[in-house]
Amino acid sequence: GAVVSQHPSWVICKSGTSVKIECRSLDFQATTMFWYRQFPKQSLMLMATSNEGSKATYEQGVEKDKFLINHASLTLSTLTVTSAHPEDSSFYICSAGDISNSPLHFGNGTRLTVT
């Protein structure tokens, strides 16, 4: 079945540094990838939608200059948290879909801790 790989699975960084998270579709071409954020014991909040070769569409309230998304190929999207602060600590999860609009599959998530 469809597999989405997310890397790293966890990262600890110092305040003010930037962190890049990768999301790869391993056995299909992901024309669209989605980035979610999940706070402890809460649901997933959609941050942005990225389409291969074009700019990402951000949800209301999500700072595009803070969360940089690049979807340069049909198998890779990256999320960069720039100048991270402790309040950015969260669980970030990506999902990917192909042009058939078949059900999405999710990565295993990245737990970011900013100290």
Partner 1 sequence: GEDVEQSLFLSVREGDSSVINCTYTDSSSTYLYWYKQEPGAGLQLLTYIFSNMDMKQDQRLTVLLNKKDKHLSLRIADTQTGDSAIYFCAESKGGYNKLIFGAGTRLAVHP
Binding site for partner 1 (CB under 8 A): 6, 32, 34, 42-44, 46, 49, 93, 95, 97, 101, 103-109, 111
CB-based contact 78:21 (threshold 8 Å) = yes
Judged by CB, which is closer to partner 1: 6, or 78? 6
Q: How near is the Cβ of 60 to partner 1 at its closest, in Å?
A: 13
Q: How near is the Cβ of 65 to partner 1 at its closest, in Å?
A: 22
Rounded (10°) CA dihedral 52, 102, 46, 12: -70
CB atoms within 10 A of CB 63: 10
CB atoms within 10 A of CB 33: 29
Q: How near is the Cβ of 104 to partner 1 at its closest, in Å?
A: 5
